[in-house]
Amino acid sequence: MKDNYDVIVIGAGPAGYAAAIRCAQLGMETACIDKSLGTDGKPVLGGTCLNWGCIPSKALLDASHKFAEAQHGFADIGIKVGKVAIDVPKMMERKDKVVAGLTGGIKGLFKGNGVDALYGSGKLLSGCEVEFTDHDGKVTKLQAEHVILAPGSVPVEIPPTPLTDDLIVDSTGALEFSSVPKRVGVIGAGVIGLELGSVWNRLGSEVVILEALDEFLPMADERIARDALKSMEKQGLDIRLGTRVTAAEVSGKTVNVTYQTKDGDESLTVDKLIVAVGRRPFTEGLLAPDSGVNLDERGYLYVNDLCATDASNVYAVGDVVRGPMLAHKGTEEGVMVAERIAGHKPLVNYDCVPSVIYTHPEIAWVGKTEQELKSSNDAYKVGAFPFAANGRALAGNEAEGSVKIIADAETDRILGVHVFGPQASEMVAQAVIAMEFDASAEDLGLTMFAHPTLSEAVHEAALGVAGHAIHMVNRKPKK
């Protein structure tokens, strides 16, 4: 550890480690501070995403989907299997192995690129000075030319449901169950709640999701959200909208949950209660009073469009700043800031940030929703194509859902793409590329897609914007 660096990054999640690696690649002396500890008490890199979020949840989603498919889907395609059983400890062991491989990979990338990994806490002082406290309590003052703040986020806790060691848990605790609970309650029908609810539903739990909003997935396109809700309820998820949880009381080995609906107070008893009402910026202990960095009214670090804070040469990226809390958004911000420190001038296109919910089928979108365009009175046109008319989807027994493309009524420029269906997370990337290059729906319709592929649904939806889809009957335009 040196006492002076070109760049010090605080936080080693996707935003922080990407920033640190790119700074080092650009020839800057770089250190990255992170205080995370694994279940073994040893320092780990990768932040929430790799350790307690994106990666472990996807490992469980993948395993639980395969289990459900073996139970219910193989017979449809002519594969007979005996009784299928789940080994939860083995599933968790594999999840932990995946996580360990990736976090160890970040450590290797730091070493290979010359980034100094400093394990402990970092606090920004004035003048780009950082107070580093290691895990043994030793305090060191470090000086930097530039500082990048990437401390990430933590789960939101709510007063009616105080967390316990094992019965009332947040999203992290929900990834560590040692057996399949008989009944699981989930507070929140957002991305985290739906994914975790799907995992335990597939493994055999009765899952009840309590959502305070009256509308399901209001951030997604209305049609996609409606279709997704029907699909999830068909899978067995009990999703109760317009329910506000008022209390949760532990009674022995169960939790009694009280909630309000338009009809009055109701109650629910579950074996596990998962609180998944969102995440908040993690800024505790990050800033000295004279750091010069300000917070906005929602507790995020205030930055401009280039992720610069109010303090000279201090930047902030990832979950701790405005915009969606998405690992890929933070990664791009981290790389952008590194490039700009080096004198280059890249920008992050916030109009092209994809969102994905890894249920099955998956939900993915980028750009504007139809309801947003309606509310702003923008003229637009729509093309949609169902996977039920896609040969590859039918052959793979994955024909649920559709692709929807929204384009400007006058210029035909693609404004938004929304996918509910198999591999939606992969297909939305095609839309992001098209939108990054300001493509029109016609451009996408004139692009050749391989056959047979799921991606042909994107092609057909683009053709459908102009009423030219080949593999479905096009709707006649309204007069």
pLDDT in tens, 252-262: 999 999 999 99
Query: For residue 33, how far is the Cα from the chain centroid?
Result: 23
- Look at residue 39 in the predicted model and tell me its pLDDT: 85
Q: How far is CA 190 from the centre of its chain?
A: 10
SS3 86: coil
Query: d(Cα 148, Cα 32) in Å, to the nearest integer?
Result: 9
Domains of the chain by start residue, with CATH: 4-155+280-351 (3.50.50.60), 168-277 (3.50.50.60), 361-465 (3.30.390.30)
Report pLDDT for 477.
60
Average pLDDT across the chain, whole number = 96
Res. 430 pLDDT band, cuts 50 70 90: very high
| β-pairing verdict for 244-251 and 254-261 | antiparallel
Residues 69-93, mean pLDDT to the nearest whole number: 92
What per-residue confidence (pLDDT) applies to 76? 87
Catalytic entry in 72, 135, 344, 451: 451
- Is residue 304's pLDDT more than 90? yes
Q: What is the mean pLDDT of residues 97-117?
A: 97
Query: CA–CA distance from 430 to each of 323, 424, 435, 443 (Å)?
Result: 22, 10, 9, 12
pLDDT band of residue 475 (cuts 50, 70, 90) is: confident
Q: Who contacts 146 (Cβ-Cβ below 8 Å, separation ≥6)?
A: 6, 7, 8, 128, 313, 314, 315, 341
Closest C-alpha among 280, 185, 284 to residue 240: 185
- List residues bridging with 120 in a β-sheet: 134
pLDDT digits (tens, 9 = 90+) for 263-288: 999 999 999 999 999 999 999 999 99
Residue whose pair of structure tokens reads 């092209």 in the numeric block: 352
- Alpha helices by DSSP H, 178-323: 191-202, 222-235
Is 459 catalytic? The answer is no
Q: Per-residue pLDDT tens for 146-162? A: 999 999 999 999 999 99
CA 7, CA 317: separation in Å to the nearest integer?
14
Average pLDDT value for residue range 32-40: 94
The model's pTM is 0.95
What lies within 8 Å, CB to CB, of 469 at 6+ separation is: 383, 385, 460, 461, 463
The single residue listed with the structure tokens 């750091």 is 291
Residue 22's pLDDT band (cuts 50, 70, 90): very high
End-to-end CA distance of the chain: 71
Residue 242 near residue 216, CB atoms below 8 Å: no
pLDDT in tens, 436-470: 999 999 999 999 999 999 999 999 999 999 999 99
Outline where DSSP puts E strands in 125-213: 129-134, 139-149, 153-155, 168-169, 183-187, 206-210
More confident residue, 476 or 175: 175
Count CA atoms within 13 Å of residue 194 on its CB side.
21
State residue 209's pLDDT score: 98
Q: For residue 169, is pLDDT > 70? A: yes
- Amino acid at site 324: P
The pLDDT value given to residue 478: 56
Read off the tokens for 49: 């995403």
Which pLDDT belongs to residue 344? 97
CB atoms within 10 A of CB 135: 13
CA distances, 308 to each of 11, 128, 305, 321, 359 (Å): 16, 13, 8, 10, 35
Please determine, for residue 315, whether its predicted confidence score (pLDDT) is greater than 90: yes
* pLDDT at position 1: 85
Given this model, what pLDDT does residue 338 score? 98
What's the token pair of residue 249?
Answer: 């009381």
Report the distance separating Cα 217 and Cα 445, nearest Å.
Answer: 29
Question: In the prediction, which pLDDT does 479 show?
Answer: 46
pLDDT 10s digits, 170-214: 999 999 999 999 999 999 999 999 999 999 999 999 999 999 999
Nearest CA among 281, 330, 280, 282 for reference residue 307: 330
State what percent of residues in the chain have pLDDT above 70: 99
Nearest Cα neighbor of 401 from 383, 388, 414, 416 is: 388
